[in-house]
Structure 1
Amino acid sequence: MSKPMLLEEFTRLPPALTVDCVDGLAGAIDSVAGAAAPSHRFLRYGWFAAALKAYGGAARTLTVAREGEPVAALPIVASGPAWAKLVSVPGCYWPFRSFPVREDAGVEAVEALLPRLAREARALRVGPVYDGDPGLELLKEAARAKGWAVLDRFVADSFLLDITAAQGEGPWPRNSTLKKNRFHEKHLGSHGELDWSFVHGADWTDAAFDALAEIEEKSWIADRTDGSDAKFTARGHGGFWRAAAEDPVIARSMWAALLRIDGTPTAFSFDMNAGTLKYAIANSYDPRVAKHSPGKLLYYRNLVRAIEDGITTVDWGAGDSGYKQVIGAEKGPAIRDWLFVRPGIDALAGKLLRSAWKRTGRAEGESAPAKADRVLDAEQSQGGGKEGEGSDN
C-alpha cells in the first residue's frame, strides 16, 4: 500500500501569467494602481489619459495578469521618428514618470511582459524617475536577465523632509520660526485682508485652477521665462492638471494651499498627497509682496496642516536645494532617465551608445536647476532673505 504524500511534498506550480496588449489605455490600470505602493496609487487611468489629452499621442497598454488578476500595467506612446520604434511611458514629470505595479508583483511578472514589449518597440524610455521606484526596479532586474541593454542618465538629486525625524528633536516647526512667520504675516497684512485656504478633492473647479494660473501669470515665471514650465496656465501645463482632476481619486490627492489678499489670488503651494507622503510640486506668488515672504508663510501653514493630516515625509523633488535645506530637507534618491533596449543587435547598439546617453544628462550629484522649484529662492532675493527665512530650522 502506497504511503500518502505529505502536503510539503507536492511541487507548487508557479502562478499562471498572461500578457496582453491593447490599443488605448487599459481599464486594468486602475486595478493595478489601487494595489500599488501608496506613493504610486495616483498612476491611474485618469493620470495617463490626462497626459494624452494635454500632450498628445496614441497609447497602447501592456498588462500582466497573475491567475486572472492584473499585477502590472505599462502604458506606452511612440516617441521620436517612427523608424526608431522608440516608446515611452506617458505622463507628467511631476512628481515623476513611471507605471503602476502591484505591491506583491515579482520580477517574473515583468519578465513575462518583455517579449511582447520587444515586438512593440526597439527601446522603452522610463523617466525621469527615482532610484528605487517599484516598477523601475523590477524592469531593471528583468531586462538585464533577459539580455536587454539598460542605459541611464543622471537628472538630479531629490530632497526629502522627514517630519517625524524633525519632531523627534523637539517641537517642529520651531517656535522661533513661527514667531518670525507671525512677524512677516503682520506686515503682509498691510496690503489688505489675508485669506488662507486649502483646495483639494471636489474643490478643484475651473475657478480654483484659474486662481493658480492668475498667480503664475504675475510671477517671475511669466516675467523671466517663456512660461512653458508654469503648471496651471494655458501655455504651460494647465491642461494636464485640469484633466487629471476629472478622476475623483486623483483630485483627492491633489492639494493646494492658497493665499488671497483682499480677495485677489496672491500665492499658492501645490502638492500631491500619497498616503503619508506629500509630493511638493509647485510654489508661486505675486512679486509685489515678495519682501514679506508669502511663499514661506504659506508653505509653513501647509506643513502644519500636513502634520494634522498624518503626513510624515515631504518629497521636494529636484531643483535648487537652498530653501529646502533651510526648512530641513536632506538629499534623497537620485532621479534618472532610463532606456531599455531590446536584445540582439539593438541592445548591442544601445551599449555602444551608453556613454553618449549619459552625457545628455548631468554629472552625478550635480543639482538640477528646475525652474519652477526656484520660487522661494527668488522670493528671498527680492527682499525676504535678509533675516534668514527660517534658517533656524
Structure 2
Amino acid sequence: MTKPMPLDEFTRLPPALGVERVDGLAGAIDSVAARAAPSHRFLRYGWYAAALRAYGGAARTVSVVREGIAVAAMPVVATGPAALGLVSVPGCYWPFRSFPVAEDAGVEVADALLGALARGARALRIGPVYDGDPGLELLKAAARARGWAVLDRFVADSYLLDMAALRVEGIWPRNSTLRKNRFHEKHLAAHGALDWGFVEGAGWDDAAFDALAAVEERSWIAARTDGSDAKFTATGHGAFWRAAAEDPVIAGMLWAAVLRVDGVPTAFSFDLNTGALKYAIANSYDPAVGKHSPGKLLYYRNLIRAIEDGISTVDWGAGDGGYKQVIGAARGPAIRDWLFVRPGPSAFAAKMLRSIWMRSGHRQAAPGTEPVPQAMSPSEDRDL
C-alpha cells in the first residue's frame, strides 16, 4: 500500500508555470506591470504600443503564467537581417528598454521565457538597460544555467541624485545656490514676466507637447545637430511621447516643469515619476536667455517640488555628468546592451565574437576614477 504524502510535502511543490504566446502585444503586459517593481511600472501595453507606432515593427509577446496569474510579459520584435534570427525588446531608450516581471518572480520564470523564445529565435537583445534590472538579472541567471551565451557591451554610466541623503547631511539645496538662483531670476525677469508651471496627468495634450517642442526647436539641439535626437519635435521622438501619454496611467507618471517668459515657452524639465523615484529624461532651454541659466533655475524648482511630492531619488540617466555632479549626483549603475544567444552552434559562434561585441560599445572607467566622456548621445541606439 502506497504511503500517503505528508501535507508539508505538498506545500513545497513548486507552482505550475504556463507559457502563452500571442501575435501582437498581450493584454497581460498591464497586469504584470502593475505587479512589477515601482521603478518598472511604466512598462505597460501603452509604452510598447507607442514604440511600435513611432519606430515600427510587428511584435509578438511571450508571457509566463503562474497559477493563473501572469508574472512576466516580454514583447519582442524581429531585428536585423532575418537570417540572424534575432529579436529584441522594443521600447524607447528613456529611461531604458526592458520588460515587466512581477516582484516575486524567480529564475524559473526567466527559464520558461527563454525556453519559449528559443523555439522561434536564435538570439535576444535587451537594452540599453541598467545593471541590476530585475528582468535582466533573472534572464542572466537562467541563460547561464541553460548554456546560452550571454554577451554585454558598456553604453554609459548613469547618475543618481539621492536627495533624501543630501538633506539628512545638511541643507540641500545650499543657501548659496538659492542666492545665486535668485540673482539670475531677477535678471531673467528683465526679459518679461516669468511663469513657472507644471504639467501632469490629464494636462498632457497637444498644446503641452507643442510647448516642449517649441523650446527644443530654438535650443542647441536644433542649431548643432540634425534634430533627430530631440524628444518632442516631429523630426525627433515626439510621436512616441504623444502616443505613450494616451495611456492614462503612463500620463499620470509623466511630468514637466515649464518656464514661460511673457507667455513664451523658454525652458522645460521633463521627467517620469514612479513612486519615490524620478527619471529625469530631458531638459532644454532657449539660448537667447541662456546667460541667466533658465534651465538651472527651472530644474532646482522642479527638484524642490519633487521633494514636496515625496520623491527622494532622481535618476539622471546617461550623458554629460558634469552639471549632474555639481547638483550632487553620483555615478550609479552602468547601462549596457545585452545579447542572449541560444545554446548550440549559435552560442559557440557568439562566444568567439564576444570581443567584437564588447568593442562596439564604449570604454568604462575603472572604479574610483572619473567616467570616460562618451561621444554617444544618451538616446543613440547603435545598429548591430
Q: TM-score, normalised by structure 1?
A: 0.92
- Give me the whole-angstrom Cα distance separating, in 1, the residues matched to 2:112 and 2:41: 23
Distance 1:330 1:233, change over 3 A: same
Residue 119 of structure 2 aligns to a residue whose secondary structure is helix
- Give me the whole-angstrom Cα distance separating, in 2, the residues matched to 1:372 and 1:128: 10
Residue 136 of structure 2 aligns to a residue whose secondary structure is helix
* Alpha carbons 2:158, 2:316 under 8 Å: kept: yes
- Give me the whole-angstrom Cα distance separating, in 2, the residues matched to 1:335 and 1:353: 21
Residue 133 (1) aligns with residue 139 (2): no
Distance 1:361 1:12, change over 3 A: same
Q: Which moved more, 1:145-154 or 1:111-120?
A: 111-120
> Where does residue 276 of structure 1 map in the other structure?
276
Count residues with an aligned counterpart: 372
Residue 46 (1) aligns with residue 46 (2): yes
Question: How does 1:75-154 map onto structure 2 within 5 Å?
Answer: 75-154=75-154
Distance 1:329 1:205, change over 3 A: same
Distance 1:5 1:239, change over 3 A: closer
- Give me the whole-angstrom Cα distance separating, in 2, the residues matched to 1:125 and 1:5: 44
Residue 222 of structure 1 aligns to a residue whose secondary structure is helix
* Alpha carbons 1:271, 1:278 under 8 Å: kept: yes
> Where does residue 162 of structure 2 map in the other structure?
162
Question: RMSD in angstroms over aligned alpha carbons?
Answer: 1.5
Residue 132 of structure 2 aligns to a residue whose secondary structure is coil
Question: How does 1:300-315 map onto structure 2 within 5 Å?
Answer: 300-315=300-315
Question: How does 1:1-393 map onto structure 2 within 5 Å?
Answer: 7-8=7-8, 10=10, 12-365=12-365, 366-369=372-375, 371=377
Residue 99 of structure 2 aligns to a residue whose secondary structure is coil
Structure 2 stretches of 5 or more lacking a match?
Answer: 366-371, 380-384
Distance 1:272 1:10, change over 3 A: closer
AA aligned opposite 1:299: Y
- Give me the whole-angstrom Cα distance separating, in 2, the residues matched to 1:232 and 1:3: 68
* Alpha carbons 1:16, 1:66 under 8 Å: kept: yes
AA aligned opposite 1:284: S
- Give me the whole-angstrom Cα distance separating, in 1, the residues matched to 2:132 and 2:242: 29
> Where does residue 368 of structure 2 map in the other structure?
none
AA aligned opposite 2:211: A
> How big is the shift at 1:84?
1.1
* Alpha carbons 2:318, 2:378 under 8 Å: kept: no
AA aligned opposite 2:273: N
AA aligned opposite 2:84: A
> How big is the shift at 1:338?
0.1
Residue 178 of structure 1 aligns to a residue whose secondary structure is helix
> How big is the shift at 1:301?
0.2
> How big is the shift at 1:11?
5.9
- Give me the whole-angstrom Cα distance separating, in 2, the residues matched to 1:239 and 1:344: 40
Distance 1:70 1:5, change over 3 A: closer
- Give me the whole-angstrom Cα distance separating, in 1, the residues matched to 2:76 and 2:205: 30
- Give me the whole-angstrom Cα distance separating, in 2, the residues matched to 1:4 and 1:294: 75
Distance 1:372 1:353, change over 3 A: closer
Identity %: 76
Residue 279 of structure 2 aligns to a residue whose secondary structure is strand
Query: Cα deviation per residue 1:358-385 (whole Å; 9 max; x = unaligned)?
Result: 0000112234345469xxxxxxxxxxxx
